[in-house]
Structure 1
Amino acid sequence: MALVTAAVVVLDCAEPEKLAAFYKELLDAEETHASANRVEIKGTDGMRMAFRRDGNATPPSWPRPENAFQAHIDLHVDDLDAVELVVIGLGGRALETKDASGPFEERGYADPAGHSFTLRCVRSTAPKQG
């Protein structure tokens, strides 16, 4: 029997309802729990996140060195440009605009509460069939 039955990424923020709404839309998730100080969601792929109320929460400053990464999330996507439009439309903001080269292409963003996350496009290296 597993000792741990689920892992949940928890982000502290001033307004958990608003941050949960951002990630619910972005991840096509459903709300699984809500209380006065915490909202939990579960994505279609099973990813679980929670948002905990903390009136003193300080967002990470990344890419600036002071108070840099506290944690960040990598989100795998098929189309960076299309998902970027959704992120910006939901209230997220770009943290950097440089174009990553090589087999991985990624872009950094902040959610509406300032937590950093990366949209990452992994190109297949398998030979084409047919």
Structure 2
Amino acid sequence: MALVVAGLVVLDCAEPEKLAAFYRELLDAEETDASANRVEIRGADGMRMAFRRDANATPPSWPRPENSLQVHLDFVVEDLDAAERRVVALGGRPLEAKDAPGPFEERGCADPAGHSFTLLRTPAIAPKRG
């Protein structure tokens, strides 16, 4: 067995219940554990996240260059427009409006607490030639 086993991504926020609900809907996830200060979810693909209460949590100020990203999540999607609409409908917001050209198009977004993440378009895979 490995010395260290992968755990889960934990985001600090003022209202873990609300942020967990955002990601639960976005990732088609289920709540796996909850306490007064922490909520955990597991996405349909097995991704695990937790949201820890921190009354003094402040969102990162990305994309301002003088501050670090702090944490960054990438979510692979088939349809960027549909995924971005879903983010906005759930209370998130786009961070930038320009599309990146090429097979790895992406869009920056923020969850309702201000944590940034990227929606990455699933690259088309050409069929094998025999």
Asked if these proteins are the same fold (TM beyond 0.5), I'd say yes
Alpha-carbon distance between aligned partners in 1 of 2:5 and 2:65, rounded to the nearest angstrom: 35
Alpha-carbon distance between aligned partners in 2 of 1:46 and 1:38, rounded to the nearest angstrom: 19
Alpha-carbon distance between aligned partners in 2 of 1:26 and 1:60, rounded to the nearest angstrom: 21
Matches within 5 A, 1:53-92: 53-92=53-92
Shift of 1:2: 2.8
Matches within 5 A, 1:98-117: 98-117=98-117
Show CA shifts across 1:4-59 (max 9, x none): 34420000000000000000000000000000100000001110000000011111
Shift of 1:125: 4.0
- Provide the aligned length of Structure 1 versus Structure 2: 129
Aligned CA-pair RMSD? 1.4
- Runs of 5+ consecutive residues of structure 1 not aligned to the other structure: none
Show CA shifts across 1:62-101 (max 9, x none): 1112333001100000001111111000000010011101
- The structure 1 segments of at least 4 consecutive aligned residues displaced by more than 6 Å after TM superposition are none
Match of 2:2 in 1: 2
Match of 1:22 in 2: 22
For the pair 1:97 / 2:97, whether they are aligned, the reply is yes
Alpha-carbon distance between aligned partners in 2 of 1:112 and 1:68, rounded to the nearest angstrom: 19
Over the matched positions of the two proteins, sequence identity in percent amounts to: 76
